[in-house]
Structure 1
Amino acid sequence: MSERIVSFVMSGGVGSRLWPLSREDNPKQFHDFSGDGSMLAKTLRRLAARPAGETPIFLIASERHAERVHADLAGLDLAGGGPLFEPTGRNTAAAVALATLRTLSEFGDSLVLVVPSDHEISTAEQFWRSVEAGAVPAHAGRLVVFGIKPTQPETGYGYIEVAADRDGVFDVSRFVEKPDLATAQTYLEAGTFYWNTGIFLFRAGAMRDAFAAFAPDIWRATEAAYKAATSDLSGLYMPLELYSAIPSTSIDYAIMERAKGIAMVPAGFRWNDLGSWQSLLDVGPSDDQGNVIVGDVVAIDCENSYIRGEGRLLSAIGMKDVAIVSTADATFVAPVSHSQHVKKIVEQLEKSGRLETRFTPAHDRVIESGAWRQRVHH
């Protein structure tokens, strides 16, 4: 198919599970984890690589990150799209409502694709092949999600349970939250559960109707903020007073867990949400001992560890299955199997009023571009 698909990238998250690298002022989507551009830039390039069909590309991001956003947009053809800046974060339901409103006002009842800004996906070709497979049920008025067949009992992802399959498109039975390990193991063995990628495809009119049925307060508040927005060459800006009045909840809670007839397309691409140091260990370039080493690091007799130094020399001996991440003002150390729990530290720091969760030291900004310089000894 080559019909218009209006694409929106959600880039409002903080990525606290990758603290101390990811901060409020410099979240993970702006980091380069593989040496070929930031997560956001790679997401935008993937959308721009659609083989055929009109694909305007929009970005929903925090107003405070406007400068970083424009740096990542440089040189990209957005095909008539552009940035929409949130004056404050109101979670993903507001972002999807905003995407739907923008599409209806400019493109009518077109197909809308909403993707996170910070996921690792194998190739643009495989990605778009999966999206085009979802265009058929989406065009028929169904809300479409994309699932990944689990390869291990993962506790860091939400899951989708599916029922009947028709021509490669499954009916969704239910969405389930991140499980504990025992529950994740039963999901893996059942064979009817998929990891939820957080990628959505739908007709703008179908999503508008879903908001009208299940979350009319979110729709009304987002519409009020959108109608009062101002635009200039740098993007669209909404008034803080109106935008902050939008109820803050996820699109999963507001719509997807309540709507009927949702379709799931199995994703034909490799995917990782890079939501933990374990995930970066899984996808990063590793040495003979299974370590991923980034920065000015000396590692001796270490195995299966993620060791990252931002700036000053970091040295480690005899470490196995650990994450060590050192920035100018903070150091994090944990077994990689516990790396999903970083949020607990972030929550404790925030309760104490510590600034290390919010701001990146100026020194780190300077050396970030050279983070791939390595010094490794075994």
Structure 2
Amino acid sequence: MPERISCFVMSGGVGSRLWPLSREDNPKQFHDLAGHGSMLVNTVRRLKARPAGDTPVHVIASERHSERVRADLAGIDLAGGHAIFEPVGRNTAAAVAVAALETIATHGDGLVLVVPSDHEISTEEQFWNTVEKGVPAAEAGRLVVFGIPPDSPETGYGYIESVWKGNVRDVARFVEKPGLEMAKAYVASGTFFWNAGIFLFRAGAMRAAFREHQAAIWQKTECAFAAAATEVSGTYLPIEQYSTIPSASIDYAIMEHASGIAMVPASFYWSDLGSWQSLLDISPTDGNGNVVIGDVVAIDCERSYLRSQGRLLSVIGLRDVAIVSTADATFVGPVAKSQEVKRIVEQLEKSGRLETKFTPAHARVLQPGAWRERVAHWLFEETLP
């Protein structure tokens, strides 16, 4: 009988590289970007498709999205799992610590699989075949990551350098998003893989890694978890304790420091759908290589991502350009620079613009008092350490 794997979906991100479609109140994971349901629902269904073995599925999400999470997951059997809501975002290290703590509390030193909520993966069968290859290493106490064989010098992904050891490789080092020339060298070497952000481990092994490398994150997360309130709708972490957790990514906090990490090369197609370029690559196109969504008239355009939510968008003579128009904002730029949308979001936030936080549809239904309360809540979060 295959060992139980407790699965945790990290759904606290904003997806700012897909602005203006993705915003803080309606982020990327709740959108249907690949044409077959929301990214969150597709991720949960992929985890539930494990051929054999007990596989409870949990979702770690922002409390501000609790209603949306409950609506998306309505009618889906989580096999004993449930939603866990963060009052504020503290990055992926805290989320992974919560996953380990929940597993220890429920199943002891069991296997844990942590995945992002907003990635496109080719097939459930290939996904689970890859994960199961990492189970022996995880059972032996190693932290296991999954690498994507790169097919281009992508500068928007982190990389993993590995040493050949058969199906399971040793990780030599993690590398943050490189420049173009370095990315080309990585792809040519054959020893570098894209970091898929998927982790498999024993709960006790991750606890030991936190205690060695990030004791403060573990201790503060442990305190918050102990004070959490569990209701029928999910577990709610308390803001008083959770807001004190240092904010860090799991890669920076643990993976770049831990020893003996194993990597399994993925056999599935993968995309983080983190840019308009990635959506252009995976979406159905017209005869000229354009992705056209919504009320769009395109003449003499090639290899462009053209999307309108509402008003007519008419374009002519464009090549390799992304145009995304919503009710209150429009993005225009070369597809090759779509990874840099975050710079626009950062500039808007510095200017105090709310277009990065609220969609017009959500803003219209807020009563004046509720609007002020929501804005005050966001401003409070942004002052946290």
* Shared fold, TM over 0.5: yes
* Cα-to-partner distance string for 1:234-265 (whole Å, 9 max, x where unaligned): 00001111000000000011100000000000
Residues 327, 364 of structure 1: 8 Å contact kept:
no
Match in the other structure for 1:246: 245
**Residue 2 of structure 2 is aligned to residue 5 of structure 1:** no
Residues 285, 292 of structure 2: 8 Å contact kept:
yes
Match in the other structure for 2:313: 314
Q: How many corresponding residue pairs?
A: 365
Q: Distance in 2 between the 1:153 and 1:229 partners? A: 43
Q: Distance in 2 between the 1:8 and 1:365 partners? A: 33
* Cα-to-partner distance string for 1:307-358 (whole Å, 9 max, x where unaligned): 0000111111111100000000000000000000000000000000000000
Match in the other structure for 2:123: 123
Task: Report matched runs for 1:149-188 at 5 Å.
Answer: 149-165=149-165, 167-188=166-187
Q: Which amino acid aligns with 2:359?
A: T
Residues 5, 53 of structure 2: 8 Å contact kept:
yes
* Cα-to-partner distance string for 1:101-129 (whole Å, 9 max, x where unaligned): 00000011110000000000001110000
Task: Report matched runs for 1:82-161 at 5 Å.
Answer: 82-161=82-161
**Residue 15 of structure 2 is aligned to residue 15 of structure 1:** yes
Task: Report matched runs for 1:339-350 at 5 Å.
Answer: 339-350=338-349
Residues 328, 364 of structure 1: 8 Å contact kept:
no
Match in the other structure for 2:76: 76
Residues 328, 363 of structure 1: 8 Å contact kept:
no
SS at match of 1:78: coil
Residues 161, 172 of structure 2: 8 Å contact kept:
yes
Q: Distance in 2 between the 1:16 and 1:351 partners? A: 14
Q: Distance in 2 between the 1:271 and 1:4 partners? A: 25
TM-score by length of 2: 0.93
Q: Distance in 1 between the 2:35 and 2:288 partners? A: 21
Q: Which amino acid aligns with 1:112?
A: V
CA RMSD of aligned residues (A): 1.2
Task: Report matched runs for 1:255-274 at 5 Å.
Answer: 255-274=254-273
SS at match of 2:200: strand
Distance 1:363 1:61, change over 3 A: closer
Q: Distance in 1 between the 2:364 and 2:302 partners? A: 29
Residues 308, 324 of structure 1: 8 Å contact kept:
yes
SS at match of 2:112: strand
Distance 1:268 1:364, change over 3 A: farther
Q: Distance in 1 between the 2:90 and 2:229 partners? A: 19
SS at match of 1:308: strand
TM-score by length of 1: 0.95
Match in the other structure for 2:327: 328
Q: Distance in 2 between the 1:76 and 1:296 partners? A: 33
SS at match of 1:231: strand
- Identity across aligned pairs (percent)? 71
Match in the other structure for 2:369: none
* Cα-to-partner distance string for 1:12-42 (whole Å, 9 max, x where unaligned): 0000000000000000000011331100010
SS at match of 1:302: coil
SS at match of 1:174: strand
* Cα-to-partner distance string for 1:180-224 (whole Å, 9 max, x where unaligned): 101100101111000000000000010000001000100000000
SS at match of 2:105: helix
Task: Report matched runs for 1:210-289 at 5 Å.
Answer: 210-289=209-288
Q: Distance in 1 between the 2:231 and 2:182 partners? A: 50
Residues 32, 38 of structure 1: 8 Å contact kept:
yes
Q: Distance in 2 between the 1:198 and 1:55 partners? A: 20
Match in the other structure for 1:301: 300
Q: 5+ unaligned residues in a row in structure 2: which ranges?
A: 366-385
Q: Distance in 1 between the 2:346 and 2:327 partners? A: 20
Residues 276, 340 of structure 1: 8 Å contact kept:
yes
Distance 1:47 1:365, change over 3 A: farther
Residues 34, 120 of structure 2: 8 Å contact kept:
no
Greater than 2 Å deviation, 4+ residue runs: 363-366
The Cα shift of 1:154 comes to 0.4
Residues 294, 308 of structure 2: 8 Å contact kept:
yes
Q: Which amino acid aligns with 2:301?
A: C
Q: Distance in 1 between the 2:313 and 2:134 partners? A: 46
Match in the other structure for 1:376: none
Q: Distance in 1 between the 2:199 and 2:234 partners? A: 23
